[in-house]
Chain A
């Protein structure tokens, strides 16, 4: 019983770590590269403008898709690893 409980706790802790990692990237591309850090990226030209503009209108959305599929793939593995899948 105690094992099952600590197993579940370890699963949840791993999930929280994974979510934290995903949300760091999520914030970095949108609030970071596309908004706050845009002046720093101004020197990197792309198609008549700068990298920050690309992140604001394309890059952040593409990264969001990548984050979700990465999270799904990792979680499905965690589910199995901890024996908690349906």
Chain B
């Protein structure tokens, strides 16, 4: 069977499974549509959160980011998992106790204010729409590489599949497809990693292999990697970072952004009890960690594999690094996986000095003299970070079915996150905007129809934007996490942990946090991400105190907290029934007991 047929088989089978689940999980009420009827088991929910959370960015891009940045990019690993500690202790159980359908609804009720609810709706929609564009674009890449259809056709196929299970099945359909998608994506991610770890270190468990001895050279894997990358003019892989303030703030922004993202929070509304919401967070992190503990191993092993493919002498024990890196392989002798990926344009080769060999090194000043001595005229091989995971099975010479599995896994990661985001968007529109503001008297049936229509519109918009991504699609991390960190997370947390924060305080806090964060991002990334409109170049020496626009969400959150507390102190305290509401979300048992009435 050809590779193409195998890929079609794997992706087709997984899609058939998702559609089957959709038909089985058809819903008839808004409660089913928004929160899957509220009867999901915490382990099931943990798995669904895993798929909901792990997007195309986690599955496809993260290992590449770590491979390129080494220790410095550990921020993604800690940031995207540490948020679950915040969810488990600060948000999820109480929001579950509140027992409503959406995140803006809590903000609106707790701060007894429609404008607060609308600010939350806007934050939710902007954060989620930016995020969903990335998923659709990721699905497009997977389709074009593995199924040889163009990205737009691929996107439309993906949209039809999402349409089936999310419009028909709402949260219920999404929950069970996410469970299936989790299983597909975790198998697809770990199998190639296990084989690569075995090949390089004889240890079948990648997170242990990462700290084991590199079999071929007999030195520890990371020491070998450091030796190879420094020989090519790069920084040591494990090198420490000078700008610790920025590293701390970036990690913090990712953590509180994770905890504040609505599509993750609403998954906690689907379990029967408060205790189940806590359990869900624990199980979710276990399932997420299976991938996140493997990713750094994939990253360093793939980086080493690529370097030793080009400089085969570097793979064994090296006496003289100078000599071992002097003769890279001939372009003609390149392995098949480089050929395959060259066709997609994600690996590019240009023979700058015309010697027919592949020179892969860092074009930095410190390496310039060595390069000149050797007659090298620039780095000749550019490898897109996004291919590391997708190309893993080919790099490790694994059989064709593993490649088919990776294709299905990449699509599962993109589709599961897209569906979760689309549900968050459509429930904000039908429940918060239409029922909450425009037409409060809408019937249950009418609202369900509105939810389905807004879901359909959201899918069409997301597909269009995925096919024609606006220039800012790449800035998704800064924008989505910045907004969630600076506006939603502080408002939710204060709503639970402070009885004193009132409507004026919360709205001022959310708006100042949000505007501060957006302005800081726009100053460096361009106003509304329009190229050329940035006021300052986006480089470290121009950042205030060395804080990058990606890390500013944490500062925005601090400003939000400070403003909300100050303004609330200066204005009237919330009415008694609101203070009672805060009491009631704090205790798993009914509100009556808690307030003593």
Contact = CB atoms under 8 A, between A and B. Distances in A.
B41 to A, nearest CB: 15
Interface in B195-244: 207, 210-212, 219-224, 226, 238, 240-241, 244
B281 A68 contact: yes
A56 B240 CA distance: 11
B251 A47 contact: no
B349 interface: no
Interface string A47-73: 111101110111011101101110110
Nearest to B208: A47
A18 to B, nearest CB: 8
Interface string B83-100: 011001110010000000
A65 B211 contact: no
B596 A30 contact: no
Nearest to A4: B596
A35 B251 CA distance: 10
Given A57-B210, A86-B275, A86-B588, A64 B222 contact: no
Contacts, number: 149
Interface stretch (B73-81, B318-326, B384-392, B439-447): B73-81
A60 B82 contact: yes
Interface string B288-302: 010011001000000
Given A60-B82, A71-B278, A86 B273 contact: yes
Interface string B274-294: 110011011001100100110
A67 B285 CA distance: 11
A86 B90 contact: no
B210 to A, nearest CB: 7
Contact of A85 (B77, B88, B285, B589): B589
A52 B72 CA distance: 12
Interface string B574-597: 000000000100111100011110
Nearest to A25: B85
B247 interface: yes
Interface of B is mostly: helix
A30 B253 CA distance: 13
A34 B244 CA distance: 11
A56 to B, nearest CB: 4
B247 A79 contact: no
Given A68-B88, A84-B587, A85-B588, A60 B78 contact: yes
Given A23-B89, A56-B77, A79 B251 contact: no
B71 interface: yes
Contact of A36 (B77, B244, B286, B293): B244
Contact of A65 (B78, B278, B286): B286
B248 interface: yes
A80 B8 CA distance: 53
A19 B595 CA distance: 22
Contacts of B88: 68, 71-72
A56 B222 CA distance: 14
A52 B244 CA distance: 13
A15 B210 CA distance: 38
Contact of B85 (A5, A67, A85): A67
A61 B81 contact: yes
A57 to B, nearest CB: 4
Contact of B296 (A5, A57, A76, A83): A57
Contact of A61 (B71, B241, B279, B292): B292
B91 to A, nearest CB: 11
B7 to A, nearest CB: 31
A65 B587 contact: no
B594 A48 contact: no
B588 A79 contact: yes
Give the residue among A23, A65, A76, A85 with the most B Cβ atoms within 10 A.
A65
B67 to A, nearest CB: 12
A56 B71 contact: yes
A48 B211 contact: yes
Contacts of B251: 30-31, 35
Contacts of A50: 238
A20 to B, nearest CB: 9
B588 A64 contact: no
A39 B248 contact: no
A72 B275 CA distance: 7
A42 to B, nearest CB: 8
A48 B227 CA distance: 11
Given A48-B222, A49-B238, A84-B587, A8 B278 contact: no
Contacts of A8: 583, 586-587, 593-596
A47 B212 contact: yes
B248 A57 contact: no
Interface of B: 66, 71, 74, 77-78, 81-82, 84-85, 88-90, 93, 207, 210-212, 219-224, 226, 238, 240-241, 244, 247-248, 251-252, 273-275, 278-279, 281-282, 285-286, 289, 292-293, 296, 583, 586-589, 593-596
9 contacts: A11-B587, A34-B78, A49-B222, A56-B71, A57-B74, A57-B296, A64-B81, A68-B89, A85-B275
